[in-house]
Amino acid sequence: MLVADLADPAARDFLTGRALAGATAHLPLLSAPATASTHVLEVYTPGTPLPLLLLADPLGVPTPVGFPLRLRMYDPTKATARVRGRSSAPSSEASSPASELRARIPTVVTLTEGHSRELSGEELIEASPDALVGRAIAGGKLQIKSVIGAGGVGSVYRAAHRDLRIPVAVKVLHHRFQNDIEFCRRFHSEALASSQLDHPNLMRVLDFGQEPDGLLYLAMEHLDGTCLARTLEPERALPLARIVGLMSQICAGLAHAHSRGIVHRDVKPENIVLVLNKDDDERPAELVKVCDFGIALQQADDVVSTAVVGTPHYMSPEQCRGEPLDGRSDVYACGVMLYELAIGHLPFSGPTPMSILNQHMFVEPLAPRFAVADFDPRLDAIIMKALAKEPANRQASMRDLRRELRALLEAPTSSPAPPSDPSPSSERSDVVGPDWLERSGSYRCDSTGEVSSVDINGRVLAGELVARSAEWLSALAETERQDHFESLAGRLEAALPVLFAEHQVKTLFAVYATLDELAVENAGCPGWRAARAQRLQQMFAEPTFLSALADAALSDDAPRREVTELVRRVGGPAAYALYSARLRMSEVSGARLRFVQLVRGLGIDALPMIRAGLARLETKRDVALAAALAADLLQASPRVVDEEAGDVTARYLEGSGPGLTTVAAEALVAFWGRRAIPLLLGLLGSEDEAVTIAAMNGLRQLNAVDERAVARIALAAEATRSSEVRRAARSALMETIGPARAVALLAVERFPAEHP
């Protein structure tokens, strides 16, 4: 609904002519169009009590003479007030001059950047990487200083860590990932898994999370080194000793990850950083760091389907087919890298990604001994074994590959290295994850939720904490020596997986509450204690534990305080777990109400999940389950200004049932503020009482009951016998202020407070 209050009586005839011709005109409006969709336009002119009704398609942002609109005639028996979809391009005909369409009372309309983009029909574009420089994230812990680089997945920044007092590298994912609820869930689980890796040859993940505005980030150690890809020269092989030195370190780092159930899936020179270091004798040495580990960010490199991710030149045959992966897939990628380092070029190349994938699956590579004269036959055997099409015919583990490579420097070169046992090693396992994580292929836990291997000291401490948590946690909180505190924190880190697997909620709540106190830096808590406590708190995002916690929170009529408090304190990751639990427990009595209450209690921490969930459900709202879940998300939404959440919420005002439309209108008032006024005015014509009442209440909350709104509210009240609608109308009209108040009081007198 749009309103134009014009000073010239002749404007009415002029606009009727433009509408009959389907032409454009620039009009000064009392408020901006809410979206780029079709609106009903009311045109008021002097001497005519009833408005001219037209259909108007917004064509862009306002110019000095008004908003550009394509006009059409309005037939209330045939047309609908809200028609989704973008109108055609503006007519080449000249629109009306400013002198013909002047507002009786000039109004200044201010648009946000997102609103302007919507009216202009622009696709959402990623902000310049420089736009984040100077921003603080992670609760102020990370201050972004400068841009390091940008790519298809996101941008990488140099940042300062407030607590650790060190430079860090922060990867910020592109905006398009923020509204994919499945991606966000995998991001949290796999970032958590990667943050638990601790090996000299792996880049360490220090922090990760999602900001209230949806921004996803990873904070990693800052490496002052050179990417391996930059050191390689076409058709030039590296010396054998350097090949063995580099690949041995790569294998060591990957073996550590595989032993914890994590597969890299994108091993390539671009993800290997060489750092100048010193060995134990203070001699210069090359330290290898494997980067971009275990995070489901390779979706940006998707070349076949959502199940096939990676970089084509380095993908194993089973990865090309989209099959489940284990550590032997990374063995294959290392075989490709060995070939490249030893020969100077890749084993397979082609004009398209698909042609390369087909070669990985069906074509045998040319053996290095046939490409290079006097090539070491033992290295040739190692490379060809690693490049075997069947995983069972490759080295069974990274440790086996590393052992074979190191033997090259210890034995004569006259005979090939003996083949290793092809049987699967103990460090390899099937990748299995909770159903709600969609089994992305890089995070492993067994069907009972227990961790595959836990330090015995962790089990011992877990038992102590269950029996006497207060005593042990008090000792942790009172420890002032850094070495002693780190020792206790390390023991706690080992005990937490046991407590998660056993679902010791009461004990875990006590642990989290203690960490909360330590995580706040103040005069009594040095920065190193706060940083360590925050890292321990990250472990509470463990997906299997959160899944069970969310189930408990929604299934019990009166969930324990520890359950609801842990959900609230964990924040964003818990919101995604609640979403999944809500899907699984649709038939459980009371689950919907508890879901709304818990998500609402998370406040803005739940907003990224709500935005992503609403976007995902929008096309499925004709299904009862999806419509009910969308309604729950809207009811649980924090009442904060958020333009992006408003964008998706506004789309629920059309094509939804009355119940969903009602809660969408209520949420839109908070998300959009006064930008929602045109849509609320349009809802006043709804045949559903609840929708009409929601529109009246929204206009009252926005202090937007002006003369035009008064007339529409009065008409809606007079046209119904509903006492609820009339009460809502009276409440809105009685709170009218300014020049419209006298009109509102007159309107109230035309209908009684209660209809008989």
Per-residue pLDDT tens over the stretch 507-563: 999 999 999 888 876 545 567 888 888 889 988 988 889 999 999 999 877 788 899
Characterize 677-699 residue by residue with b for buried, 16 or more Cβ atoms within 10 angstroms of its Cβ, and e for exposed. Answer: bbbbbbbbbbeebbbbbbbbbbb
Q: Is 738 exposed, middle or buried (0-12, 13-18, 19+ CB in 10 A)?
A: exposed
Query: Is the per-residue pLDDT at 90 higher than 60?
Result: no
d(CA 731, CA 700): 8
Enzyme catalytic residues: 266
Phi, psi at 301, each rounded to 5°: -95, 15
- Read off the tokens for 661: 């439309």
182 pLDDT tier (thresholds 50, 70, 90): confident
Asked if residue 67 lies in contact with residue 29, where contact means CB atoms within 8 angstroms, the answer is yes
Query: Is the per-residue pLDDT at 378 higher than 50?
Result: yes
d(CA 286, CA 472): 42
Query: Is the per-residue pLDDT at 198 higher than 50?
Result: yes
Characterize 524-538 residue by residue with b for buried, 16 or more Cβ atoms within 10 angstroms of its Cβ, and e for exposed. Answer: ebeeebbbbbbbbbb
Strands 154-161 and 166-173 come out as antiparallel
139 pLDDT tier (thresholds 50, 70, 90): confident
Query: Is the per-residue pLDDT at 452 higher than 60?
Result: no
CB atoms within 10 A of CB 257: 25
Asked if residue 447 lies in contact with residue 431, where contact means CB atoms within 8 angstroms, the answer is no
| Sign of the Cα pseudo-torsion (742, 744, 747, 751, in order) | negative
CB atoms within 10 A of CB 439: 16
DSSP characters over 606-619: GHHHHHHHHHHHGG
442 pLDDT tier (thresholds 50, 70, 90): very low
The average confidence (pLDDT) of the chain is 83
Query: Is the per-residue pLDDT at 299 higher than 50?
Result: no
Half-sphere exposure of 234 (CA within 13 A, CB side): 0
d(CA 244, CA 240): 6
Query: Is the per-residue pLDDT at 129 higher than 70?
Result: yes
d(CA 44, CA 299): 53
d(CA 462, CA 167): 34
Asked if residue 529 lies in contact with residue 559, where contact means CB atoms within 8 angstroms, the answer is no
d(CA 261, CA 247): 21
CA dihedral 140, 146, 150, 156 (to 10 degrees): -40
Q: List, in order, residues 6 or more apart from 747 with CB less than 8 Å away.
A: 710, 711, 713, 714, 733
